[in-house]
Amino acid sequence: MPIEKSKFIWMNGEMVGWDEANVHVLTHGLHYGSGVFEGIRAYQTPNGPAVFRLNDHVNRLFESAHIFMIDIPFSTETITEAIKAIVRENNLEECYIRPIVYLGYGEMGLNPLTCKADVSVAAWKWGTYLGEDGVTKGIRLKVSSWVRHNPNSLPPAAKGTGMYMNSSLAKVEAVKAGYDEAILLSPQGYVSECTGENVFVVRKGRVFTPPTSAGALEGITQSTVSALAQELGYKVEVENILRSDLYTAQEIFVCGTAAEVTPAVSVDDRMVGDGKPGVFTKAIQAAYYAAVHGENDRHPEWLDYVG
C-alpha cells in the first residue's frame, strides 16, 4: 500500500519536510538492521484526534532499545510529545504513526557499541493494513514454510527492524501463493504469530492466543482485545496452539495496530467455521473500534488527545 505523504517528519528534535527526511547511505541501521520501531495509530474521537495507547507503545519502544543495548538520546516524555506533535503539525485526524530508533552514520562493522542512535517519527494516512474487504469479509491464511526465529537467536519481545526479514519472507511466500497473510510456527512447531499480527483462535467455545514462549510479540492490540473480551464475558487463555487447532477452529482473527481486528476465513485452504466472520470476532471488532474512537468510556487511559 503506497504511502500518502504528509508535510513534516520529526527527526532528532526538529520538524523537517517530508522529502528532506533523509539518512546517509552508510547508516548502520541500513546495513545491519540495527534499530527498533513502533506502529501506532491516532483516531478521530468526539474530543478530537487521540493516539491510542500511546504510553504503552512508547514504553515498548524503550524496552526494545534496552534489549538491543541501544541508548535513545531522548526521554520518554520527549518522544511522547513528538508523536502528538507530528499528528498535530500535519493536521491529521486519523493516521498511522511510525517512531523509529536506528543506529546512524559514523561507524561501520558488526560492533554497534560506538554508534550514535538517531530517532525519527513519521505519520501518514493509512487504511487498514489487510484491506477493507479483509476486515469485513475475512482473509485467507497460509502456514509458512519459514519458521519464527528461535528466542535465543533473536528476542521476540523486541520490535527490531532487522528481525522483520523473517516476516517479509513469510509474507512474500503467502502473497505469491495467492493468500493474504502468513502464519509462522515456532521452532517447536507451535503457532507463533502472523507476519505483523497476533493470532486469536476460538475453538470448542474457548478463546486462545499463543504465548510469548512460542515467539509471539506481546502485542498491545492483543492485550486490548483480551481486556475487551473479558468485558464481553469471554476469557482469553494464553496457551500453545497446534497447526491442527487452526484447521478445526470455529473462528480465527488476527490483530495488530496496522491490521486492527481482521477475521480469517480459511487456513491452508481449510474453511474456518462457515467461512464468514464469526460472532465473537464481530463483537470484538465492534468493541475495538468503539474503544479507539472514544466511544467506550471504560478505558479513558487508552487515549492521549493530540490537543
Q: How far apart are the first and last CA of the chain?
A: 29
Place of cell 530517532: 119
Amino acid at residue number 24: H
φ/ψ (deg, to 5) at 24: -70, 150
Q: What is d(CA 199, CA 213) in angstroms, rounded to the nearest whole number?
A: 14
302 in Cβ contact with 53 (< 8 Å): yes
Are β-strands 139-147 and 260-267 bridged in parallel, bridged antiparallel, or unpaired?
parallel
Place of cell 497473510: 181
The answer to whether 204 is a known catalytic residue is no
180 in Cβ contact with 139 (< 8 Å): yes
89 in Cβ contact with 8 (< 8 Å): yes
Beta bridge partners, 304, equal 51
The catalytic residue among 5, 125, 137, 159 is 159
157 in Cβ contact with 218 (< 8 Å): yes
Instruction: Indicate which residues carry an active-site annotation.
Output: 159
